[in-house]
Amino acid sequence: MNWHARLIAPAQELDSAPLLRREFRLEEGHGALTRATLTLTAQGVVEAWLNGRPVSEDLLTPGWSAYEWRLRYASYDVTDLVDETSVLGIALGRGWFGGRLGWTGGEAWYGDGLGAFAQLELEFADGTTQLVVTDEKWSAGPSEILANDLYDGETIDARRRDDSWKRPGFAGDGWAGVRTVEFDDSRLTPYIGPAVTRWAALAVQEITTSPSGATLVDFGQNLVGWIKVRVQGPAGTEVVIRHAEVLEHGELGVRPLRSAKATDRYILSGGVDEFEPTFTFHGFRYAEITGWPGELRAEDLTAVAIGSELTRIGEFHTSDPLLNQFHENVVWGMRGNFVDVPTDCPQRDERLGWTGDIAAFAPTAAFLYDVDAFLSDWLVDLDLEQKHNDGIVGFVIPDVLKYMPHPADFGKPDSTAIWSDAAVWVPWDLYQAYGDTAVMERQFESMASHVRRVKSLLSPSGVWDGNFQFGDWLDPDAPPEDPAKAKADKGVVATACAYWSAKIVSDTAGVLGRSAEQAEFAAHAEALREAFDREYVNGGIVKSDCTTVYALAIVFGLLSGADEAVAGDRLAELAAEAGYRISTGFAGTPFIADALTRTGHTDVAYRLLLEKECPSWLYPVTMGATTVWERWDSMLPDGTINPGEMTSFNHYALGAVADWMHRVVGGLSALEPGYARVLVAPQPGGGLTEAATSLETPHGRVSVRWSIDGEGVFTVEAELPEGVDGILRLPSGEERPIGAGRVTASAELPAAVGVR
């Protein structure tokens, strides 16, 4: 694309978020206007209007990317918004480029060059094109947005509102010129992924008074976004809204926010005011309202949930209400953390694209929503960061941590298992889910580079045990102040992951027809398997003898048949010794249920899944959770918040078990990438009497529904789209081929499957 625009900013310091405008007339003599296209981006975030009408409902444009090398732009058809005389107006916020990022208190890590960039192309009937671009001809002025930050919130003074700046003939009192900002337009690239939008609105469920006398509002659901307000009161009145995810002792539980203020302030005009703080977002269920004039009514407040625009494709439901609520918590946790990048949490002074979280969760995400474009966009940034970091895949993408003081307890920055393995696991998971090799073709060099980097870090014994590892992060037995102090040996975890990544890259090379790389990585994977067996396995017992090491060794296929049987029995034994409470952290949790199922202990997997005592997947549900927590005990049974400095009530990683639920409980999995062939194989258990699962695959909708009647008869019904076939496997192990259309089968259940 030929760029004529410049990045612009106000020529003089303003006391508010800048407004930028340009008035223009359509050129005459070219016939009718046939098309108008606006291309828009910023160092910061922008919203734009043409003649007072918004050009889009998109939010936080252009989002967060690896700004050093890649700045995305959005393009809009604005033909219907253009008049003979028009005004293009832009509001500029700090966003990720200029606002706070990370827990060190720093801001504007990418530089101080906040600015907007717009190019409007007007096409006429005779083929002529007129350009209106950001340049020195624009003017800038103050806005009603006195402060804006993603972590801290937004302050809006309604007394300063005057929308006449968006329309022709504006006098421009208090406005001045603009300056151009140094800018490399070769970084400009179109979005691959979707924009951020509003996706839900929630009404107030309850208004209460806390023990201290504060007014508290409960929306009934932990969400990510903001509160839209309608209020009238004396001019100059300040209404303050502070957000949090939970209550503690009846008061707003703000300690988990750490330094994030998560507070919006509204100064009233004296008339009826509406406020919507679109240059920030919060993770919250509750809000504390102070300064409200008169009686606060439920209809005065609406919670607006925002996130990247994603299409729901997977559904899951069972006969167990608690399990259904847990699954709904997984969905809400994902939506709240998929705000342009896949973040760890949406509320505290962090909200970073931690690679370990999405490495664990990608299969679940790819089933629940179509995330192909969303994660493909993020993977482009991963590749860029990696290329500029000697092949190292950082802890977060985009890697803003490289600008911050490196935490001493994180060791020297280098590749680390699970987190850096996202470079391999995520594209492979996307291929498995959607059957499109394009993502692997784009990412192959990144995938290979990661595995080669890890190979350079191996010890002389052939295992990966020499540099910093998160290991089985947030093992429930680790002390609150030391989440890395896990039972699982870090070398065992890292070497298992190194093997799995090498095997995936070999398989990827095979799919892409890259025979030399296929052989290279197959040999490397085999060497890692041999080293793992030699250094860590003794008769099926894996070093550190805990649930996570067995889960990884079994699911990744590191053990011989005899050793795998021993390991499976030991895993089931350890689960029983723990009272069927969870004993795994980030490394083991995504895989433990599959490891048990693979080794004939599906009944134990069900007991883990349905356990309600802490730590367990259902314990937070019994405590009223509406999203997945960061820690198994983010809230203690007595209602107090975990004493650790780091805890969040919206962290999707530990919800990765939903992938097993879809495949094993629901009975729907892929026999070929993209569900070109499917396996219908429900494995009932845990006293469940029914389950229903469906998925909009690239080939059409696949659905599975099963039930158990009072006589113990199991009935399964499946429906496949045209062009898709597969296998139906009953709980007894009996199999038969199935084709497109609807199929039903019934059978007596094995006696081991109980019904409650």
CB atoms within 10 A of CB 546: 24
Active site residue 350: yes
pLDDT digits (tens, 9 = 90+) for 194-219: 999 999 999 999 999 999 999 999 99
Q: What is the mean pLDDT of residues 620-631?
A: 97
- The three state secondary structure string of 541-573 is EECCCCHHHHHHHHHCCCCCHHHHHHHHHHHHH
682-735: pLDDT as tens digits: 999 999 999 999 999 999 999 999 999 999 999 999 999 999 999 999 999 999
Least trusted range by pLDDT, from 365-374, 471-480, 539-548:
471-480
Per-residue pLDDT tens digits for 417-436: 999 999 999 999 999 999 99
**Per-residue confidence (pLDDT) for residue 489, from 0 to 100:** 98
Q: Report how far residue 627's alpha carbon sits from residue 649's, in angstroms, rounded to the nearest whole number.
A: 7
What are 727's strand-pairing partners? 679, 737
pLDDT of residue 172: 82
Identify the pLDDT of residue 483.
Answer: 87
Q: How many Cα atoms sit within 13 Å of 572 on the Cβ side?
A: 17
CA atoms within 13 A on the CB side of 194: 20
Rounded CA-CA distance 713/320 in Å is 19
Our CA dihedral for 738, 739, 740, 742, rounded to 10 degrees, sits at -30
Residues 499-513: tens digit of each pLDDT: 999 999 999 999 999
Closest CA relative to residue 688, chosen from 661, 707, 667, 710 = 707
CA distances from 114 to 181, 465, 560 (A): 8, 43, 58
pLDDT of residue 82: 98
What would the pLDDT profile of 218-259 be if each residue is shown by its tens digit? 999 999 999 999 999 999 999 999 999 999 999 999 999 999
Dist. CA 430–CA 670, nearest whole Å: 13
| pTM strictly above 0.95 | yes
The confidence score (pLDDT) of residue 752 equals 59
Quick one: DSSP state of residue 96?
H
- At residue 490, the 3 state secondary structure works out as helix
Neighbours of 28 (CB within 10 A): 8
What letter would DSSP give residue 105? S
Distance, in Å, from the CA atom of 649 to the CA atom of 222, rounded to the nearest integer, reads 8
Q: How confident is the model at residue 192 (pLDDT cuts 50, 70, 90)?
A: very high
Owner of token pair 């202990």: 601
Whole-number pLDDT of residue 1: 84
Residue of 288, 350, 564, 719 marked catalytic: 350
630 catalytic residue (yes or no): yes
Secondary structure (3-state) at 114: coil
Peptide bond into 211 cis (omega under 30): no
With the C-alpha atoms ordered 621, 626, 628, 632, is the resulting torsion angle positive or negative?
negative
Pick the range with the lowest mean pLDDT from 78-87, 390-399, 407-416. 407-416
| pLDDT for res 755 | 45
DSSP string, 605-669: HHHHHH--SSSSSSHHHHTT-SS--SSTTSB-TTSPBPSSS---S---GGGGGHHHIIIIIS-EE
Percent of the chain exceeding pLDDT 70 equals: 99
Query: Residue 342's closest CA among 407, 425, 416, 409?
Result: 425
Find the range with the poorest average confidence among 218-227, 405-414, 638-647: 405-414
Of 672, 676, 710, 675, the closest CA to residue 693 belongs to: 675
| Interior angle at CA 564, CA 563 and CA 567, nearest 5 | 85
Q: Is the pLDDT of residue 756 over 90?
A: no
pLDDT of residue 6: 98
Half-sphere exposure of 685 (CA within 13 A, CB side): 23
Looking at residue 93, its pLDDT comes to 98
The pLDDT assigned to 408 comes to 80
Mean pLDDT score of the chain, rounded to an integer?
97
Do 616 and 582 touch, CB atoms closer than 8 A?
Answer: yes
**Sign of the dihedral through C-alpha 743, 747, 750, 756:** positive
CB-based contacts of 542, cutoff 8 Å, min separation 6: 492, 536, 549, 550, 553, 567
Evaluate if residue 751 carries a pLDDT over 70: no
C-alpha R_g of the chain: 27
Burial of 277 (0-12, 13-18, 19+ CB in 10 A): buried
pLDDT tens readout for residues 6-44: 999 999 999 999 999 999 999 999 999 999 999 999 999
pLDDT tens figures, 153-178: 999 999 999 999 999 999 888 899 99
Residues in the chain: 756
What residues form DSSP beta bridges with 717? 705, 744
